[in-house]
Structure formats: C-alpha cells, structure tokens
C-alpha cells in the first residue's frame, strides 16, 4: 500500500475510533526510512545543529 494511502487509512481509523471528534490536537508522523547512511565525522552533528567535539 502506498504511503499516502497508509496515512489516509490511519487518519480515518483514528477519527472513526473517536466518532469524528478529537478532544485535543493530533499529530501524525510518518517516516519513510531508506536505510542507514554513512556520514563523515562531524557531518551528522552539523546537519542537526549540534556542536562538534574538539580534538583531544
């Protein structure tokens, strides 16, 4: 089943369970993982904004 179809079915199931009314906000995160990826030392940290450790 495609990602959009999976998401649509999930949303409809949740709304159906709650009879169409949510008591609070709802967030759905659907992640499509393509497997592990190698990064050069410090590259992953830089991508997410973490400080790199200095040389010891």
Residue range 14-48, pLDDT digits in tens:
999 999 998 888 888 888 777 777 878 888 788 88
Q: Is residue 26 within 8 Å of 18, Cβ to Cβ? A: no
Residue given tokens 């949740």 in the structure block: 14
How many angstroms separate the Cα of 43 from the Cα of each of 33, 34, 46, 51? 19, 18, 5, 11
DSSP 24: S
The pTM of the full predicted model, rounded to 2 decimals, is 0.52
| DSSP three-state, residue 37 | coil
């Amino acid at each position: 089943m495609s990602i959009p179809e999976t998401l649509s079915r999930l949303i409809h199931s949740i709304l159906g369970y709650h009879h169409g009314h949510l008591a609070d906000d709802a967030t759905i995160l659907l992640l499509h993982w393509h497997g592990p990826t190698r990064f050069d030392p410090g590259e992953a940290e830089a991508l997410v904004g973490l400080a790199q450790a200095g040389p010891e």
